[in-house]
Every structure is written in structure tokens, then in C-alpha cells.
Amino acid sequence: MKKTSQLYIGIDPGLHGAVAVLRGNKFIGVWDTPTTTVKRGKKTHNVYLPASMVEVLKRIANDYGSSLMESVVGLEEVHAMPGQGVTSMFSMGKGSGLWEGIITALGMPLVRIPPQRWKKEMLADGRGKDKQASIVRALELFPEAASHMARKKDEGRAEAILIAEYLRRTNDYDGA
């Protein structure tokens, strides 16, 4: 049974991903995945900050008056795609694994959602399935989130919002 006070947390696990929160059908907020840039040799790379990832989820529960167990998390299930580079695939898998471990360690209910499933539901009606379509759809559903998606690179935020909304609409979890 859906609770109006239920927190629905959607996570796009990429390095440019995000964590979005809905309470019932109301947009609460969105946070970028905590990362930093490090230099290795002549190149710079983004890396995940696991301790900060933990703090994001704890802060959400604390700030919005919900215990971690009264939240449900939808984590996009990542997989390799043709044409995707090895480094990119490794990074996405690492981010997904970090989020899954953190969510599990915090005792939060977790649902792994394949991108094809949430996109089929949330980007129906010939919208396309690209990143820009996610931004447009998230803004249609939650215009109050516009200030969080002002840049083209904010598609991770939009996708996190759509994952949370998919979770809310489908009640796609068993509470465990």
C-alpha cells in the first residue's frame, strides 16, 4: 500500500548521475552523485566519493522526517551497451555497486530497475528515449524542479527524478 508520506528515492548511478526524492507525488529535491576530480598522470578523472554518498542518503532521511526504512530506493540497473567504452562500462558498474552496497548497509528497501522498464513507462508517447527527452518529461511532471535542470548536462538529475516517479507509480517493490 502506498503511503502519502513515503519517500521515493531514484538513483541514476553514473558519475554524472543523481539522487532524486519524492514524498508521495511531490518533488522534494535532487542531489548530484558525490564525485571529485583527480589527476592521474596528464589526465583528470572523476571518481566517486563513497562516504559522501552515504551522507546524502542519511541527510535525506534526516531532513525529510523519514527513517531510512520508510524510504524505498529505485536504483537504475546498469549493463554494458554496444559501442560503450570499457572505462565507461567499468565506471557505471562501480557506481552501481557502490550505491547498492550503501543502500543495503543502511537497511533501505531497494528495487533494481532496468532502464528499459522505467523508460518505457515514463517516456511513452513517442518522446524518444534520449537524455534530452528525460529532461523534458521530468519538467512536464515536476515544473518546480526547473532550477535543478537548467543545464544540458543535468540529464542525470532528470533521470533520477523519473526513476523515483516510476517507482511511485508502479509501487514496484515488495517492502523488502
pLDDT tens digits, residue range 103-137?
A: 999 989 999 999 999 999 999 876 676 778 999 99
Question: How far is it, in rounded angstroms, from Cα 66 to Cα 57?
Answer: 11
Q: Is residue 2 part of a domain?
A: no
Does the predicted TM-score (pTM) go above 0.75? Answer: yes
98 lies in some domain: yes
Task: Give the burial class of 22: count Cβ atoms within 10 A of its Cβ; 0-12 exposed, 13-18 middle, 19 or more buried.
Answer: buried
* pLDDT tens for each residue of 130-168: 778 999 999 999 999 999 988 877 999 999 999 999 999
Mean pLDDT along residues 83-97:
70
The residue segments making up the domain with residue 103 are 7-170
CATH number at residue 28: 3.30.420.10
Number of domains making up the chain: 1
Whether 175 is in a domain gets the answer no
Q: Tell whether 157 is covered by a domain.
A: yes
**176 falls within a domain:** no
What is the C-alpha to C-alpha distance for residues 38 and 78, in angstroms, rounded to an integer? 24
